[in-house]
C-alpha cells in the first residue's frame, strides 16, 4: 500500500465504525475485521460439525491453487437412507464463515444441512477478494457445490446435482448471484434450486457511485475493512480511496488511473441481465429500505431484471428498515429498524420466512406461505405495503427547484402532495436543468413533514444529479430513491434538494453556483389513489 494513501485510509477506518447491518442472514458490517476461524465448537446433540478446505482456481495462471475453507453442519438423522437438502451460507464483507452451530440452528433444526465458507481473501481462505468475480469467486462456489454433490447424506437430484439453496447478506448475497449466473452461462441452468440473498447489489458501480458520484463513506469503509488482512488487490484499494478523494469514480479516463468500471463490470447480476440471462429459480429477495450502500432500487432491479417472469411468480420480495445504515444527518433522515413484512408473511423475522420459503421450494411442502409474485415494502412507521409494480402512477408539477451549491447551501424542501397518500415504489423527476459551473452536483430525495422546516428524508437516501459541463435549460430525468411511505393527513410529501449529503461527503459541486430545475415534475408510485 502506497504511503500517500495512509491518511485517507485512516479516515476510512473512522467511517467504517458507523456501519450497521441488522440483517438476519449473518451479513457482517463493513467495519468488521476478517479473522481466522477457530476450531469448531462442540455441536449440539445430533448436529455433526466438520471443518475442511478444498483447492480452487489459482490467483494467476500457473500459480498454486487457492485454499477455500468451510464448515459443514450435518443435522440429526441425516444419513444415506434419509438424505436432506443443503443450504450454502457465507459472510458479509470483512467477515468469516460461521462455525457455531447455534447460529444456524434454524436451518439444521428444520432438517437442512448447512455449509458455511470463507470467501476468497477472508478468514482461513487464501487468495484475494475479487468482489464476486465470475473467474474467481464464481469458480469457488462451483467447487463447493461439487463437494456437496459427493456427500452421501445430501439429497441429490442427479449426478453432480445436489438439492441446494443459499443464504447470506451483502457480500454473502453476491456469491449467490455469481454462482447461479455463472452456472447458467456455462451449463444452461443454475447450480442452486432456490436463493435467499439479502441487502446485495445489482450493479456495483452504480451502487458505489451512482451517476459517477462516489458514495465516499462507503468507498472508504470497504477499503478500510479489507486493509487488516490485505484482502483486496492493491490497485482496487488505490482506486477506491482515490475515487473518494477526487470525487470521480475511476473509469480509466485519467492518465495512469485505475478502471473500476471495468473491474466490476461482470461482478453482479447486471452484466448477465444485459446479456439476456435470467434466473428461472425461486428467489426470496430481502433489501433494506434505509440502506445507503445497496439501496432499495438495487434489489428492485434484481427482481425486475435478474429473474424470469415465471420465476418472479414463485418468488417474494421483502423490503425492511435496515441494511447498510449510516446516521442520516445532512439531509436529516429517520432512525428505524423493523421488518413488518416478514412478520406479516411468516409470523417472524426474515430467517423464519427463509425457512418457510425453503420448505416450500426445496422440500415441496405445503406451508401456506403467501405473498409470492409480490413486492412487500416496510414504511418508516413499520407498516407493510404490498404492490405488484413499483412504477410511478401519478405526476405532480412542482415548478422551479433551485439549489445553491457549496457547503453553506441548506436543503430546499418543495411540496409535492399533501397527505393522506401512500407511496410505494421507484419515483423520478424531470426538469429543465441550468448549471453554469463545471462538475455541478445536487442531491435529491423525498421527505415528509408538517412544514419544509420539519421535513425529513423518508428512508434516508438521496441520489445525485451530475452535470460535468455547463448546461442551460437541458431536460433531464433524475431517479429518486425508491421508498415506501404513508403520508398522513396534516403532513406533506416534499421533494428535498440538497447541495451536500453525508453519504456523499465531499462529493458536492466542484465550482460555486446554483443548480436550477425549471418545469419540474415529480412522478410518484401512488398506491390506492
174-200 average pLDDT score? 97
Give the per-residue pLDDT at 248. 83
Is 103 in a helix, a strand, or coil? helix
234-252 average pLDDT score? 84
Looking up cell 441452468, which residue turns up? 189
63-73 average pLDDT score? 98
Give the per-residue pLDDT at 7. 43
Which pLDDT band, with edges at 50, 70 and 90, does 43 fall under? very low
Give the per-residue pLDDT at 45. 61
Q: Write the Ramachandran bin of 382: left for phi over 0, alpha for psi from -120 to 50, otherwise beta.
A: left
The rounded distance, in Å, linking the Cα atoms of 257 and 207 is 20
- Give tens-digit pLDDT for 356-403: 999 999 999 999 999 999 999 999 999 999 999 999 999 999 999 998
Q: C-alpha grid cell for residue 69?
A: 475453507
Contacts of 103 by beta carbon, 8 Å cutoff, 6+ apart = 26
DSSP code for 267: S
Give the per-residue pLDDT at 477. 98
Examine the domain organization and report whether 116 and 248 are in the same domain. Answer: yes
Would you say the C-alpha torsion 227, 230, 234, 236 has a positive or negative sign?
A: negative
Select from 238, 255, 275 the last residue of a domain. 275
Residue 333 lies in a domain: no
Examine the domain organization and report whether 116 and 263 are in the same domain. Answer: yes
Q: C-alpha grid cell for residue 444?
A: 435529491
Give the per-residue pLDDT at 406. 64
Residue 447 lies in a domain: yes
Give the per-residue pLDDT at 409. 67
CATH number of the domain residue 65 falls in: 3.40.50
Q: Does the pLDDT of residue 22 top 70, yes or no?
A: no
Examine the domain organization and report whether 410 and 271 are in the same domain. Answer: no
Give the per-residue pLDDT at 6. 44
CATH number of the domain residue 520 falls in: 2.60.120.260
Q: Does the pLDDT of residue 227 top 90, yes or no?
A: no
Q: 445, exposed or middle or buried, with CB in 10 Å at 0-12, 13-18, 19+?
A: buried
Residue 202 lies in a domain: yes
The rounded distance, in Å, linking the Cα atoms of 488 and 458 is 13
What does the buried/exposed string (b/e) look like for 229-256 if buried means 16 or more CB atoms within 10 Å of the residue's CB? bebbbeebbbbbbbbbbebbbbbeeeee
Residue 325 lies in a domain: no
Contacts of 28 by beta carbon, 8 Å cutoff, 6+ apart = 21, 91, 92, 93, 94, 95, 170, 171
Q: C-alpha grid cell for residue 293?
A: 450502500
Contacts of 241 by beta carbon, 8 Å cutoff, 6+ apart = 5, 8, 9, 12, 219, 220, 223
Residue 398 lies in a domain: yes
- Give tens-digit pLDDT for 443-463: 999 999 999 999 999 999 999
Which pLDDT band, with edges at 50, 70 and 90, does 32 fall under? very low
Examine the domain organization and report whether 264 and 398 are in the same domain. Answer: no
Q: What percent of the chain has pLDDT over 70?
A: 91
Which pLDDT band, with edges at 50, 70 and 90, does 16 fall under? very low
The rounded distance, in Å, linking the Cα atoms of 287 and 201 is 9
Q: Does the pLDDT of residue 2 top 70, yes or no?
A: no
Contact 466, 434 (CB under 8 A): no
User: Minimum mean pLDDT among 129-133, 222-226, 399-403, 471-475: which range?
Assistant: 222-226
Q: C-alpha grid cell for residue 458?
A: 423518508
Select from 227, 253, 275 the last residue of a domain. 275
- In three-state form (DSSP H/G/I as H, E/B as E, the rest C), the secondary structure along 129-159 is CCCCCCCCHHHHHHHHHHHHHCCCCECEEEC
324-334 average pLDDT score? 89
Contact 211, 464 (CB under 8 A): yes
Examine the domain organization and report whether 269 and 406 are in the same domain. Answer: no
Residue 142 lies in a domain: yes
Q: Does the pLDDT of residue 68 top 80, yes or no?
A: yes
Which pLDDT band, with edges at 50, 70 and 90, does 221 fall under? confident
Looking up cell 453556483, which residue turns up? 513
Q: C-alpha grid cell for residue 307?
A: 429473474
Select from 275, 298, 325 the last residue of a domain. 275
Residue 80 lies in a domain: yes
334-342 average pLDDT score? 96
The rounded distance, in Å, linking the Cα atoms of 132 and 95 is 15
Contact 67, 146 (CB under 8 A): no
Q: Does the pLDDT of residue 171 top 60, yes or no?
A: yes
Would you say the C-alpha torsion 203, 207, 208, 209 has a positive or negative sign?
A: positive
Q: Does the pLDDT of residue 245 top 90, yes or no?
A: no
Q: Which structural domain, as residue segments, surrounds residue 421?
A: 394-524
Give the per-residue pLDDT at 510. 87
Give the per-residue pLDDT at 13. 40
Q: How many domains does the chain have?
A: 2
Residue 374 lies in a domain: no
Which pLDDT band, with edges at 50, 70 and 90, does 254 fall under? confident
Q: Does the pLDDT of residue 476 top 70, yes or no?
A: yes
Amino acid at each position: 500500500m502506497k504511503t500517500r494513501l495512509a491518511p485517507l485510509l485512516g479516515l476510512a477506518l473512522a467511517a467504517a465504525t458507523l456501519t450497521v447491518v441488522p440483517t438476519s442472514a449473518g451479513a457482517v458490517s463493513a467495519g468488521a475485521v476478517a479473522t481466522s476461524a477457530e476450531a469448531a465448537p462442540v455441536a449440539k446433540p445430533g448436529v455433526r460439525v466438520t471443518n475442511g478446505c478444498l483447492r480452487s482456481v489459482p490467483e494467476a495462471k500457473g500459480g498454486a491453487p487457492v485454499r477455500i475453507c468451510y464448515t459443514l453442519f450435518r443435522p440429526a438423522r441425516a444419513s444415506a437412507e434419509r438424505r436432506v437438502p443443503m443450504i450454502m451460507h457465507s459472510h458479509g464483507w470483512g467477515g468469516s464463515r460461521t462455525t457455531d452451530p447455534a447460529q444456524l440452528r434454524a436451518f439444521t433444526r428444520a432438517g437442512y444441512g448447512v455449509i458455511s465458507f470463507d470467501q476468497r481473501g477472508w478468514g482461513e481462505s487464501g487468495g484475494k477478494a475479487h468482489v464476486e468475480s465470475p473467474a474467481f469467486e464464481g469458480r469457488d462456489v462451483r467447487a463447493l457445490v461439487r463437494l456437496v454433490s459427493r456427500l452421501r447424506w445430501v439429497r441429490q437430484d442427479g449426478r453432480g446435482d445436489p438439492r441446494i439453496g443459499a443464504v447470506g447478506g451483502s457480500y454473502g448475497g453476491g456469491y449467490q448471484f455469481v454462482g447461479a449466473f455463472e452456472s447458467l452461462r456455462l451449463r444452461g441452468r443454475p447450480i442452486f434450486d432456490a436463493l435467499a440473498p439479502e441487502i446485495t447489489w445489482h450493479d456495483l458501480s452504480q451502487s458505489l457511485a451512482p451517476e459517477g458520484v462516489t458514495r465516499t463513506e462507503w468507498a472508504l469503509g470497504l477499503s478500510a475493512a479489507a486493509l487488516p488482512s490485505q484482502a483486496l488487490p492493491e490497485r482496487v484499494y488505490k482506486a477506491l480511496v482515490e475515487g473518494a478523494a477526487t470525487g470521480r469514480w475511476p473509469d480509466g479516463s485519467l492518465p495512469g488511473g485505475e478502471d473500476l468500471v471495468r473491474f466490476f463490470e461482470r461482478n453482479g447480476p447486471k452484466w448477465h441481465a444485459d446479456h439476456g440471462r435470467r434466473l428461472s429459480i425461486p428467489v426470496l429477495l430481502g433489501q433494506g429500505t434505509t440502506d445507503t450502500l445497496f439501496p432499495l432500487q438495487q434489489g428492485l432491479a434484481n427482481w425486475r431484471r435478474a429473474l424470469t417472469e415465471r420465476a418472479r411468480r414463485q418468488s417474494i420480495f421483502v423490503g425492511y428498515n435496515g441494511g447498510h445504515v449510516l446516521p442520516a444527518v445532512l439531509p436529516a433522515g429517520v432512525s428505524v429498524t423493523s421488518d413488518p413484512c416478514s412478520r406479516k408473511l411468516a409470523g417472524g423475522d426474515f430467517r423464519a420466512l427463509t425457512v418457510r420459503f425453503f420448505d416450500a421450494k426445496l422440500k415441496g411442502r405445503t406451508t401456506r406461505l403467501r405473498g409470492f409474485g409480490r413486492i412487500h415494502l416496510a414504511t418508516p412507521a413499520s407498516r407493510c405495503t404490498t404492490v405488484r409494480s413499483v412504477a410511478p402512477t401519478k405526476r405532480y408539477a412542482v415548478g422551479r427547484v433551485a439549489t445553491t451549491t457549496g457547503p453553506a447551501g441548506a436543503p430546499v424542501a418543495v411540496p409535492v402532495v399533501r397527505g393522506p397518500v401512500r407511496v410505494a415504489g421507484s419515483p423520478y423527476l424531470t426538469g429543465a436543468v441550468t448549471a453554469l459551473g463545471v462538475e455541478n452536483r445536487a442531491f435529491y430525495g423525498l421527505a415528509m413533514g408538517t412544514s419544509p422546516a420539519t421535513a425529513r428524508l423518508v428512508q434516508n437516501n438521496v441520489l445525485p444529479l451530475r452535470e460535468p459541463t455547463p448546461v442551460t435549460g437541458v431536460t433531464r430525468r433524475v431517479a429518486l430513491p425508491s421508498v415506501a411511505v404513508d403520508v398522513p393527513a396534516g403532513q406533506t410529501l416534499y421533494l428535498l434538494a440538497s447541495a451536500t449529503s453525508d453519504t456523499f461527503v465531499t462529493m458536492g459541486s466542484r465550482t460555486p453556483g446554483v443548480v436550477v430545475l425549471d418545469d419540474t415534475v415529480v412522478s410518484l408510485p401512488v398506491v390506492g389513489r
